[in-house]
Structure 1
Amino acid sequence: MTASAATDTAANDLLAYIDASPTPYHAVRETSRRLLAQGYRALDERESWELKPGDKVFITRGDTSIAAFHLGTAPVERAGFRLVGAHTDSPNLRIKPQPHAGKAGYQQLGVEVYGAPLFSTWMDRDLSLAGRVVTAKDGQLAHHLVDFRRPLLRIPNLAIHLNRGVNNDGLKLNAQEHLVPVLALERSGAVDLRTLLVEELARANVHTVPQDILGYDLCLYDTQPSSRSGAFGEFLHAPRLDNLTSSHAGLSALLALDAPGEATRGVILYDHEECGSVSAQGAASPFLRDLLERITQALSDGRRDAFHRAMRQSFLVSADMAHAVHPNYASMHEPKHQPLLGGGPVIKSNVNQSYATDGESWAWFALCCREVGVTPQNFVTRTDLGCGSTIGPISAGELGIRTVDVGSPMLSMHSIREMAAAADVAAMISVLRNLFAR
């Protein structure tokens, strides 16, 4: 396969992965599907595990976080772990428990803001709903994924005639008042969300009644499919590039491995990074530590200090998207640290530990890049601006593991529709695959 063909294949596969993953629930389902197709088997945290060198396994928690491991042939206290961490969630709008609202003849659904989306980008979009529905039958709870896949909601902008200063003063939106999507006209007849959910579930051969829907986790999303643009097709336009791009890269690199190595290789894709990672399945939870301890117990020499020794032999790449320099706002970037779309993976640094990168982990990742002919870029935030953070410092602090923060460059971060470069997809996969193979 030529370099151009490999670039196109990787980029198009990423867009397919994103379109199959409108919510973290669907991202985990799509990730599981790909793992199963490559011979991985699912483990249940409630059960005892029987593991042996060379096994390919994965574990989910909370339906929104997933970890997969290709177990090594050497004891982990000697060979350690090679890990890539990313996250399945993206900023969006989510339906409230008692959602029905309305004004001035419209039926609407109340939403909460998840993470930090760019509000204005959610206006005038063909929005749909997807997520998880929890039903009860015979005293037992059942989980079902739902995706309406069609335009169902819209948050209309206010006409410029009624907001004359908007182009000069900027659009100012109040999350409570101005982000409530329209569902129907009152005169068309009353609409009940649970009834809509029952109808949608029936299309997937799940038959229930509105009163048996006892809970749900529902996200709004843009129905426009992902696409490519530019004179040479070099740009990607898609929702949730932050951070499904990194999830896809880690997963693709792991699945590209033909045979087990001495080290145990794995990916961990967390939920809830966009709201702080503090949850039962977020990066601040014991999810990864629990898994690594259980694998160590199965693949070690049996000594009590095996896990701690394994951590000293291990390395984690925290993969989350990076800020590419914006041609219209180049002054917002630190000089000499202005990553370009298509310029390759970005190593992210912050001396106050918003990123976990230090000189050693920086050098380690740069070496992995050099060995596959990729030149990395560097990013630090301007000294007079605050810096965002990632799962990297959280995981490093929890495990004491060497960690580097990296990401592919992008524009429009936290927009409903973001922008990246096709060339960067294959480049990141290549580097992560080399990290796993070392």
Structure 2
Amino acid sequence: MGEYVTASPSSFHAVATAAAALDAAGFTALDETRPWSELSAGGYYTVRDGALIAWVLPSGAAPGAGYRILGAHTDSPGFKLKPRPTTVTHRWYQAGVEIYGGPLLNSWLDRDLRFAGRLVVRGRDGGTRQVLTATGPVARIPQLAIHLDRSANEGLTLDKQRHVQPVWGVGQAQDADVLTVLANAANESRGTSRTTVTGAPSAAAGDGAVAEPITASDILGYDIVVADSQAPELIGAQRTLLASGRLDNLTSVFAGLRALIEHAHDLESAEHVSVLAAFDHEEVGSATRSGAAGPFLEDVLVRISAARDGTTDDYRRSLAASVCLSSDAGHLVHPNYQGHHDPVNTPEPGGGPLLKINAQQRYTTDATGAAEWARVCERAGVAYQEFVSNNTVPCGSTIGPITATRLGIRTLDVGVGLLSMHSARELVHTGDLYALYGAVAAFWRP
């Protein structure tokens, strides 16, 4: 898990890293712009920007067989680089950033940060290509010294425009250029990073697909986030706690990826199609072409059905027979803020993954979904815990309601519990991670 998070500072890196693991496991990459005809039994995946959908098609699945879907997301709250990002203030080089999603802003202060994401660059043939880039620890959002703000410990207030712009160097204005830093990082990573073309991953750059070096003037567009550069760390006296950025929601992506790769070895006995759908942009509402509110999952499911010679009625029957686990991180009871939680349903570290319930349908779990999760966890031999919000503390939502509404698939909301969700560095119990993986594996098991 730690290695996956380290290799995945952005949604694009999370997808490229997952695609590399699927390639190594023998899955076939499919380009959305090419025909998908006569899909035989096996593992497949396709990529759309910062989202990936992978599936295992068993030999015994009839055209009307249901899909068993694990839905997750690849993005995390934080900051995204603005256009014309380079500014200089009193010789401090700064980067203009927007707030992405709902990060816990104070947790990003005084951390060693890096820039990561994708560049769209001018190709030597007149076209464009996409390149991944990730710098080392080059930036920091410095906090004001206590001597200059004596009231800081009584309640820190951060202006979202003036107080969160990272510094990344010192010098003269004519020498400052964030895009040069990004281009240099991309050049340094050639041979280990992956490039993408039309959304589908190519061979790793080092397998004969090494691209030529780029300069800042080659960059025509970019999607760059700010990421914590500190590596994940096992902490606690028993080393059972994982401290890391992006646990929301790479915990679910990683559990699904590992379980699906192992499930791909069992193509004979399964009667359903197992699907991992890792969407982008959940933290900003999911309403994009690569988000859960977009058509990506529906497009893929329709094409899977068509490639199996399924009719429209077969496809509709498949949806009616399908179930989706919307897997996203939830909250453990915080020992310092117990009053913010429901007094009866109190998820604890090491107690197993969460089943999330909400009367306002912010989570989609109903009685049938709860029974499905109970049976899955029983087969896996793992415990689970119910999560419901304190009535005075409204909860967030997930891709679950979006998937259920868009496709009519029965959906339930699950995930591991965290402390410090949406912090630059979150905390999870490793036993809960392993239990989530076991439950997902049982969900796909024949």
Q: Structure 1 residue 186: deviation in Å?
A: 3.2
Indicate which of 105, 109, 126 corresponds to 2:91. 105
Q: Structure 1 residue 297: deviation in Å?
A: 1.7
Indicate which of 262, 266, 270 corresponds to 1:256. 262
Residue 213 (structure 1) aligns with = 219
Determine the C-alpha separation between the residues in 1 that align with 2:173 and 2:402.
Answer: 50
Residue 234 (structure 1) aligns with = 240
Indicate which of 274, 281, 287 corresponds to 1:265. 274
Determine the C-alpha separation between the residues in 2 that align with 1:280 and 1:52.
Answer: 24
Residue 297 (structure 2) aligns with = 288
- SS of match in other structure, 1:297: helix
User: Could you list the per-position Cα deviations for residues 326-363 of structure 1 after superposition, in whole angstroms to 9, with x for gaps in the alignment?
Assistant: 00001110111111111101000111111111110111
CA contact (8 A) 2:91 2:173 kept: no
Pick the structure with more helix per residue.
1
CA contact (8 A) 2:78 2:101 kept: yes
Change (3 A) 1:362 1:108: same
TM-score between both structures, scaled by the size of structure 2: 0.92
Change (3 A) 1:245 1:308: same
Which segments of structure 1 move beyond 6 Å, counting only runs of 4 or more? none
Indicate which of 102, 115, 118 corresponds to 1:116. 102
User: Could you list the per-position Cα deviations for residues 70-111 of structure 1 after superposition, in whole angstroms to 9, with x for gaps in the alignment?
Assistant: 003334554311110000000011111111223233221100
1:436 and 2:422 correspond: no
- SS of match in other structure, 1:251: helix
Deviating more after overlay: 207-216 vs 269-278 = 207-216
1:325 and 2:333 correspond: yes
Residue 12 (structure 2) aligns with = 25
- One-letter code aligned to 1:272: H
Correspondence list, 1:158-197, <5 A: 158-168=144-154, 170-187=155-172, 190-197=175-182
Unaligned runs of 5+ in 2: 191-211
Unaligned runs of 5+ in 1: 1-13
TM-score between both structures, scaled by the size of structure 1: 0.93
- SS of match in other structure, 2:175: coil
Determine the C-alpha separation between the residues in 2 that align with 1:83 and 1:355.
Answer: 16
Q: Structure 1 residue 188: deviation in Å?
A: 8.7
Determine the C-alpha separation between the residues in 2 that align with 1:73 and 1:288.
Answer: 22
User: Could you list the per-position Cα deviations for residues 234-291 of structure 1 after superposition, in whole angstroms to 9, with x for gaps in the alignment?
Assistant: 1000000000000001111111212121111110000000000000110001110111
- SS of match in other structure, 2:239: coil
- One-letter code aligned to 2:266: A
Determine the C-alpha separation between the residues in 1 that align with 2:156 and 2:369.
Answer: 42
User: Could you list the per-position Cα deviations for residues 197-254 of structure 1 after superposition, in whole angstroms to 9, with x for gaps in the alignment?
Assistant: 3322332444123222111111111111100011100100000000000000111111
- SS of match in other structure, 2:422: coil
Determine the C-alpha separation between the residues in 1 that align with 2:238 and 2:260.
Answer: 29
1:380 and 2:385 correspond: no
Determine the C-alpha separation between the residues in 2 that align with 1:349 and 1:41.
Answer: 37
Determine the C-alpha separation between the residues in 2 that align with 1:78 and 1:207.
Answer: 49
Let me know the Cα RMSD of the aligned residues: 1.4
- SS of match in other structure, 1:256: helix
1:275 and 2:262 correspond: no
- SS of match in other structure, 2:312: coil
Deviating more after overlay: 98-107 vs 332-341 = 98-107
CA contact (8 A) 2:118 2:132 kept: yes
Correspondence list, 1:296-375, <5 A: 296-300=305-309, 302-375=310-383
Determine the C-alpha separation between the residues in 1 that align with 2:308 and 2:187.
Answer: 45
Determine the C-alpha separation between the residues in 2 that align with 1:188 and 1:134.
Answer: 25
User: Could you list the per-position Cα deviations for residues 123-160 of structure 1 after superposition, in whole angstroms to 9, with x for gaps in the alignment?
Assistant: 10111111111111332011100111x22111111111
Residue 116 (structure 2) aligns with = 130
CA contact (8 A) 1:250 1:429 kept: yes
CA contact (8 A) 2:6 2:232 kept: yes
CA contact (8 A) 2:115 2:182 kept: no
Give the number of aligned pairs.
421
1:46 and 2:36 correspond: no
